[in-house]
Structure 1
Amino acid sequence: MGDVFAGRFELIDPVDAGGNSVVWRAWDRRLGRLCAAKVLRQRHAGSMLRFVREQRLRLDHPHVLSPYSWVAEDDQALLAMDLVGGGSVSSLVADFGPLPERYAAELLAQLLGALDQVHAAGLVHRDIKPANLLLEITGTGRPVLRLSDFGIALSLGEPRLTQHGAVVGTPGYVAPEALAGEPPSISQDLYAAGVTGWQLLTGEEPPATGPPPSRPADAADESVLWRVVESLAHPEAADRTPSAKDALAALAPLLAEPLKLPAFTLDGEPIEVFDHLPPLPGPYAALAETPKPPDHPEPPNSPTPAESAQSTELPQPARLFQPTELPQLAGLPQPPEGRPAPGRRRVVLAASSVAVLVAAAVIAVLALDGDQAGKKTPSPNQSSTPQTIGTRPVTPSPNAEVKVGGACGWQEAGSIETTAGGTRVVCRQQGSSYRWVKAG
């Protein structure tokens, strides 16, 4: 049996890691079901406050991933959510390349439906990209997308946590006006959705710098989907599609056509959203056969109209039992033999307000000299923690307390820092202890 948080969540194995957290596959003893448990491992107050903001975002929509419980103690916190095992849209494109237009339109429509709900709640996600779009395991059936990772989402009525002049987001998906210093807006989410649509159709990564991606020369002029994608990703905000609802309306003629399943790639390979998670250990495999409780049903297999944003009380926090050891994440299990290697997985979420954590985080932020509290640690290779670009460096600020070979704690396993000499280091398990080693 793995380590147990709060006498309830048994941590089975780590399935993903970001700059501020580790996501575990876990067993929820109370509900008798598997779940994803996002465990915060961050000692910076600014990131703690961002984590608190992530808990506040309770959006009831079939294509938005939301938590159902949390526990916290001191600088540790755990969020529990549905386990989404089909990888991400990023891994889907990495596995199969350019997607057929009708299949790509299905995914884009589900993303736009989720964004319509997010924007109706007065929120800007600020990190729309394929890696943050998780997929349910549906095989060769209709894909089911879940929008995740609200770690830097911003309410339009709240102050920003980033330093003035900083630009947050993932290179290639940040709208030109954001790079120019304009404040966050829903139009910037729509731009990123357009770039995501471009990636679905081309199978390519967008350029990190330079002009926005453009339609390939061989794309059909009469393509409804390409017109929608180009309007969403227009470099001028004033000429961009004004809302997700408008983009959905423009997609309607294509969505009216039946989605033929299985869908096939240009090479004739059937497109499959398979299970990206490794086999469960024996004891948990038997437990997992227990049906999920009715209050946490599977999402429907087709897009639904946007629903009203809801705020739901979560259980009060319980005290945590500190895990005795955090396994090294470098050797995560691979998918079953015979399956294509998946891309990066993201099992992330959005959650609701937590007064205790807000108070603690705000006090810590004030102690970090006001505006400087918003600095965050980016993770490499477009992980779920967005990089800071534009006027800010893409590596953490030098930390005089960190040195190569120095000791670090299990809570910091996977965290990236920069030494006073400018060397990027990562906290890794070394035998029974944890040490800062040079980042690869």
Structure 2
Amino acid sequence: MITNAVLVSVVVMVIVCLLRINVLFAIIIATLTAGMAAGMGITETASTMISGMGGQSNTALSYVLLGIFAVMIGMSGITTILVNKMLTVFKGKKLFLVLTIAGIACLSQNVIPVHIAFIPILIPPLLSLFDQLKLDRRAVASALTFGLKAPYLMIPAGFGLIFQGIIRDEMIANKMPVTLNQVTTAMLIPGAGMIVGLFIAIFISYRKDRVSTPAKKIEMPEIEVAASLSEKIEDVKWGVQHWLTIVAILAALVTQILTESLVLGALAGIAVLFLTKVVKMSEGDRVIQEGITMMGMIAFVMLIASGYATVLKETGAVNELVEQTTEIIGTSPLVVSFVMLLVGLIITMGIGSSFGTIPILAALYVPICAAAGLSPLATAALIGTAGALGDAGSPASDSTLGPTAGLNADGKHHHIWETCVPTFIHYNIPLFIFGMIAAVVL
């Protein structure tokens, strides 16, 4: 089992990332390692990776367009007004500010399902405020990742409805009947673990003052934000262009909800800002360049991560890892729960998507849980937790890439050491523990 392609490649990826090698190179190295460990050969592995990159093409284009939209919103001046307001409201209230950011992030998953789209709009203008408050950006990264994960684990609305619906459907497909309400009930205990992790991060780990300085080696490219965001904040009066910007944001939101497409949503917002001349067409080259600079790195990482996931699936290493594991663990509910969560952590760390991991895990875990005498609720909790484990802390996950894109807008935040490591510690450990508890008590 120690030579399994998934296990070997994930270990290689983690080590390479911790050595501060760019995450894009880290995933490529992990992909080639997985292919060669499975006997595919370097040429076949590269071809499989490239062919699999299309699996995230829609997501990559969405992120680039959202970056362009965020730059245009910044140029309108509305973010300057927001920052001035927050400077007044949150002066000397670091913890309240971080909790507010966590709350806004939670809304992005269920009430207003825009996922990470709000981060490049909200966070870069607030970086100067963070520095004034001497706020540890690792606390903000933890708050953002919490908001991007916890709601879909616990609340059956928006992305949560999709996530819990996948668990229900896959369990039924594997002949273990379960209802959506049962899945929601089962996921409340693991979700509570994330709340504990958030409080530990904010009130204990990263409560002290910390001044962020440019890193010697910047993991994500420094973002050249719009002039209205980078210049000294001045008083800006509310005007017509700000109302039109609100209209553009609403247009993007409504279009996304109606079409279920982030691409069309972002295009709608961009079109409104251009047509109403909030941003002039002559500024088109500038906003595209800055938008790609802001979100292009995430887009390419997601493409490479998709290729990595394809290689792992083609090698059959995921199924092999689970099968080899089940031969060892027997049918003890406690041992089964521990090992299944550990395997889920390894798989999701590599693939970087909790949603994409669920179908893989459900097909293999349902028979094991049934043999161990675990109830449908306990099985749902294990599958959901195993899928979510690793998403926080994975270098290839949008739950970590999104926060880094915003917090590193001035080049003072490191993707691995200041986003991935803190979120891995504060969320994967509680998820693991509370997932075990759920398997025992449900």
Give the TM-score of the pair, scaled to structure 1: 0.29
Name whichever structure is richer in strand by fraction. Answer: 1
Give the TM-score of the pair, scaled to structure 2: 0.29
Name whichever structure is richer in helix by fraction. Answer: 2
